Structure 1
Amino acid sequence: MQIFNPAHPGEILKELVIESLGVTITDAAEHLGVSRKTLSKILNGNAAISPEMAVRLELVFSKPNADHWLRVQNAYDLWQTRMEKEKLNVSPYDFEAA
């Protein structure tokens, strides 16, 4: 099933994890072992959740696990790419014409 315009995973992280726990961005960044700037980029949708960051999130917050964060990031990335597919400059094979 294809998701319609999924939220950036940083938005989800910000609203459902950091804000719901009452944790500051600075404190979360310290626990994650990253700079506040790095975490802010993710939370503001300006950077992706990498596999390394997904594991960091899993280790610090326990749930959701790293697999979840990567699935959410992948769904977001795939949607964004599909919305700009005309820029890919590809031409499909016409197997019926051969």
Structure 2
Amino acid sequence: MMRGPGAARLLERALTAAASRAGASIAIGAGRATDWQSATFAGQRHEITVEGETGPALDRWLETLAEADLPLAGHLVADIAVASLARNAARTAFVIEALTVEES
């Protein structure tokens, strides 16, 4: 039985906090997580729609997202990337794809 929030919710919180530290304000939209397993690991694949205010702070955060340290209790972010991005002068909408694995 799982206690506390799952990996999807923890990832959303970590993304919001990391963006905030970078000076970018984001809003998490719809998210989807599917179970994933390899021969040695178990986890989830995540697809999260996000929106933020267009500007240099958001751009810098998105450029460094793949290398970001996103701590999740009981999980590791094994892979993360911006899968798609659309912007106008005021708002930037994007989709983040990530793989989280359970810590042993």
- Please give the range of the TM-score, normalised by the shorter of the 2 chains: 0.3 to 0.5
Q: What's the TM-score once normalised by structure 1's chain length?
A: 0.32
- Point out the structure with max Rg over C-alpha: 1
Question: Relative CO higher for 1 or 2, CA cutoff 8 Å, sep ≥ 6?
Answer: 1
The structure in which a higher percent of residues are helix is: 1
The structure in which a higher percent of residues are strand is: 2
Q: What's the TM-score once normalised by structure 2's chain length?
A: 0.31
